[in-house]
């Protein structure tokens, strides 16, 4: 009898608040089937809820302190700049490595942090959005996989919908077209793989929902602070875009359900949930400045030329050109975006700073950061003080407390790779509408807006990540028709996949087999087995950690290029 198969449909950013409504309205019959015949519930993300970090935990079973990935980029504290990173930076292997060792095959499609695509014997990988583009070497494995796939399905494989540019240009209707094109391409790819490229375990990620929810949330959600400013016509045209993505994913799910056998397992998961964009994340440096933790040079809060240029490039460049640029000039974004972010900060007087992308803070520690001024010995006291002040943050309109939790790195990340992460992580409340942060009395906000990265522009982005994603599972191992209220964690996905594929669970993993979702009879017949593996073999990560530093020479090239195009003065 053939070994049963495991399928994982990754719906980046899928969230119960929307899915429950669509289930209630009878709009997603295949999700409904999973609810009726399988097990489902909220899936807890990793603490920072970032896609790069969360997916890496999903496919390694390890917390970020062990896999070392916190975002699509890393801080370079010596220079206060950022460096874009990729899957080659992870320190522990993905589940496919263990399956391959057991002679099983795996397909891993469009999963963030899987570039460079690892070779899997008898299997295949198409990297996620950490990869520069289809034409890059090692974007897929085997190297001709995308060519073969495109020939079979008769259309182009589209990596990302790339919506922010169209929204920034004030053309949401173009974003809708991009989204439809991407969804159709992914749906066809999935069906082609299921029909003619079988593997023992397939992880196929749709990123469409994450992109759509970031951009279209305000039109859908009447409780969003910006909803009232949207015209009736806009709400009619764009208010249903997010729903339509769920409905298309439901169709893809239906095609999967049609194709799986009675012994197979299918799970639908998301890496985090979704809700309103909390505007305070991008106000953190301003808040730190108001409390004198961060000091700007005179006039330093003005968005500088590079920031403006980046916004221009982001909104006026086509998806294909951006991919090409990223490939031709690796590191361009590293240099330019960090210039935009920390422009005008006086490091000699700054004790705490944030990348203002998501709510995390770093201390400007002496010896650790380039111009650090905080003694390591004083750090705990400063962190306690910050915890108190952060917890006391209040909404600028309602006056309500806005912080649910403040975590220190040591409380949430365990392992030897905590260095690139934050010192302090803030969790906003998800149960109230947050309009902004109240600044201290007498503090005068700068006249000019602060620099933000294009992908975080509040005029473009109205939705953001929340801690609970979705889990639905169907197959002989899973309970039937049961909701699991708590205890399902993204971290548990890899041990669960390995167990469903009849493999031992490496003991270095932080995740556990999701017994809470499984039926006791099946578990009694399939006891969990442990592989004694406290530290994974160092050669278990095939791609070497590749450095993509941006040299001074390259910076100069970029600067000249931007200047010649009129983007900077």
The residue at minimum Cβ distance from Zn ion is: 51
Give me the residues paired with residue 126 across strands.
109, 140
CB-nearer residue toward Zn ion: 48 or 51: 51
CB-nearer residue toward Zn ion: 210 or 492: 210
Q: Shortest approach of Zn ion to residue 557 CB, angstroms?
A: 33
Q: Shortest approach of Zn ion to residue 240 CB, angstroms?
A: 22
Are 263 and 4 in contact, with CB atoms under 8 Å apart? yes
CB-nearer residue toward Zn ion: 83 or 272: 272
Residue 271 as a binder of Zn ion (CB under 5 A): the answer is yes
Task: Give the containing element (helix H, strand E) for 195.
Answer: helix 172-196
Residue 114 as a binder of Zn ion (CB under 5 A): the answer is no
CB-nearer residue toward Zn ion: 453 or 477: 453
Residue 464 as a binder of Zn ion (CB under 5 A): the answer is no
Strands 505-506 and 530-531: parallel
Q: Shortest approach of Zn ion to residue 511 CB, angstroms?
A: 18
Are 535 and 136 in contact, with CB atoms under 8 Å apart? no
Task: Write the DSSP symbol of residue 106.
Answer: E
Residue with tokens 């169709």: 251
CB-nearer residue toward Zn ion: 51 or 286: 51
Helices 241-259, 16-24: crossing angle, 10 deg rounding: 80
CB-nearer residue toward Zn ion: 118 or 210: 210
Task: Give the containing element (helix H, strand E) for 206.
Answer: strand 201-206
Are 214 and 462 in contact, with CB atoms under 8 Å apart? yes
Cα–Cα distance for residue pair 90/203, rounded to 1 Å: 18
The site for Zn ion, by CB under 5 A, has a size of: 5
Nearest to 122 by CA among 101, 95, 151: 101
Q: Shortest approach of Zn ion to residue 271 CB, angstroms?
A: 4
CB-nearer residue toward Zn ion: 210 or 464: 210
Q: With CB under 5 A as the contact rule, which of the stretches 10-18, 71-79, 382-390, 511-519 interacts with Zn ion? A: 10-18
CB-nearer residue toward Zn ion: 372 or 469: 469
Residue 100 as a binder of Zn ion (CB under 5 A): the answer is no
CB-nearer residue toward Zn ion: 12 or 264: 12
The Cβ-side half-sphere exposure at 36, using a 13 Å CA radius, reads 9
Are 264 and 7 in contact, with CB atoms under 8 Å apart? yes
Q: Shortest approach of Zn ion to residue 483 CB, angstroms?
A: 23
Q: With CB under 5 A as the contact rule, which of the stretches 184-192, 237-245, 246-254, 269-277 interacts with Zn ion? A: 269-277
Residue 423 as a binder of Zn ion (CB under 5 A): the answer is no
Site residues for Zn ion, 196-215, by CB under 5 A, read 210
CB-nearer residue toward Zn ion: 12 or 221: 12
Q: Shortest approach of Zn ion to residue 464 CB, angstroms?
A: 10
Site residues for Zn ion, 37-56, by CB under 5 A, read 51
Which regions of 38-128 does DSSP assign to beta strands (E)? 39-44, 73-76, 81-84, 106-111, 124-127
With CB under 5 A as the contact rule, the residue among 5, 9, 12, 69 that binds Zn ion is 12
CB-nearer residue toward Zn ion: 51 or 354: 51
Cα–Cα distance for residue pair 460/401, rounded to 1 Å: 26
Burial class (CB in 10 A: 0-12, 13-18, 19+), 120: buried
Q: Shortest approach of Zn ion to residue 54 CB, angstroms?
A: 6
Which regions of 263-359 does DSSP assign to beta strands (E)? 265-269, 273-276, 352-353
Sorted by sequence, the CB contacts under 8 Å of residue 326 that are 6+ apart come out as 132, 133, 332, 333
Q: Shortest approach of Zn ion to residue 59 CB, angstroms?
A: 13
Calculate the CA dihedral of residues 3, 493, 193, 101 and round it to 10 degrees: -50
Cα–Cα distance for residue pair 220/29, rounded to 1 Å: 21
Question: Residues 221-260 vs Zn ion: string with x where CB under 5 A?
Answer: ----------------------------------------
Cα–Cα distance for residue pair 401/434, rounded to 1 Å: 9
Paired tokens of 95: 């589940």
Nearest to 182 by CA among 203, 147, 207, 217: 207
**Residues at the site binding Zn ion, with contacts judged by CB under 5 A:** 12-13, 51, 210, 271
């Amino acid at each position: 009898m053939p070994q049963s198969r495991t399928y994982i449909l990754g719906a980046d950013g899928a969230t119960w608040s929307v899915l429950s409504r669509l289930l209630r309205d009878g709009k997603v019959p295949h999700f409904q089937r999973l609810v009726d015949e399988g097990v489902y519930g909220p899936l807890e993300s990793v603490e920072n809820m970032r896609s790069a970090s969360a997916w890496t935990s999903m496919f390694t079973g390890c917390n970020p302190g062990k896999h070392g990935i916190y975002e699509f980029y890393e801080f370079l504290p010596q220079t206060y700049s950022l460096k874009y990173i990729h899957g080659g930076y992870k320190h522990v292997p993905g589940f496919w490595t263990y399956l391959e060792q057991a002679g099983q095959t795996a397909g891993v499609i469009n999963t963030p942090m899987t570039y460079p695509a690892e070779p899997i014997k008898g299997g295949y990988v198409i990297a996620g959005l950490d990869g520069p583009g289809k034409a890059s070497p090692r974007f897929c494995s085997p190297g001709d996989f995308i060519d073969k796939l495109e020939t079979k399905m008769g259309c182009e494989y589209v990596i990302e919908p790339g919506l922010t540019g169209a929204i920034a240009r004030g053309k949401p209707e173009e974003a809708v077209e991009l989204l439809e094109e991407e969804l159709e391409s992914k749906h066809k790819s999935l069906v082609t793989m299921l029909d003619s490229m079988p593997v023992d375990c397939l992880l196929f990620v749709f990123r469409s929902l994450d992109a759509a929810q970031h951009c279209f949330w305000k039109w859908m959600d009447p409780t969003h602070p910006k909803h009232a400013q949207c015209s009736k016509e806009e709400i009619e045209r764009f208010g249903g875009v997010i729903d339509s993505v769920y409905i298309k994913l439901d169709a893809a799910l239906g095609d999967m359900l049609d194709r799986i056998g009675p012994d197979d397992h299918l799970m639908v998961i998301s890496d985090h949930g979704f809700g309103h964009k909390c505007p305070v994340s991008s106000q953190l440096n301003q808040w730190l400045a108001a409390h004198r933790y961060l000091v700007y040079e005179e006039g330093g809060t003005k968005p500088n030329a590079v920031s403006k240029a980046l916004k221009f490039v982001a909104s006026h460049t086509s998806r294909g050109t951006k991919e090409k640029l990223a490939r031709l000039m690796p590191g361009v974004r590293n240099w330019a975006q960090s210039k935009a972010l920390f422009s005008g900060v006086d490091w000699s007087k700054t004790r705490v700073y944030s990348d203002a992308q998501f709510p995390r803070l770093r201390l400007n520690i002496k010896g650790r950061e380039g111009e650090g001024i905080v003694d390591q010995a004083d750090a705990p006291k400063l962190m306690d003080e910050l915890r108190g002040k952060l917890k006391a943050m209040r909404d600028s309109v309602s006056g309500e407390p806005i912080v649910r939790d403040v975590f220190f790195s040591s409380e949430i990340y365990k392992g030897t790779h905590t260095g690139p992460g934050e010192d302090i992580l803030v969790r906003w409340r998800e149960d109230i509408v947050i309009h902004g942060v109240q600044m201290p009395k007498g503090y005068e906000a700068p006249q000019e807006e602060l620099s933000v990265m294009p992908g975080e522009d509040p005029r473009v982005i109205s939705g953001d990540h929340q801690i609970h994603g979705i889990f639905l599972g169907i197959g002989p191992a899973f309970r039937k028709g049961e909701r699991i209220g708590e205890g399902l964690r993204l971290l548990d996905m890899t041990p669960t996949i390995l167990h469903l594929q009849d493999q031992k669970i490496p003991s270095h993993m932080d995740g556990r087999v999701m017994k809470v979702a499984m039926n006791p009879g099946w578990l009694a017949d399939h006891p969990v087995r442990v592989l004694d593996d406290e530290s994974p073999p160092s050669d278990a990560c095939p791609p070497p950690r590749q450095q993509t530093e941006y040299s001074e020479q390259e910076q100069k090239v970029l600067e000249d290029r931007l200047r010649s195009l009129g983007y900077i003065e």
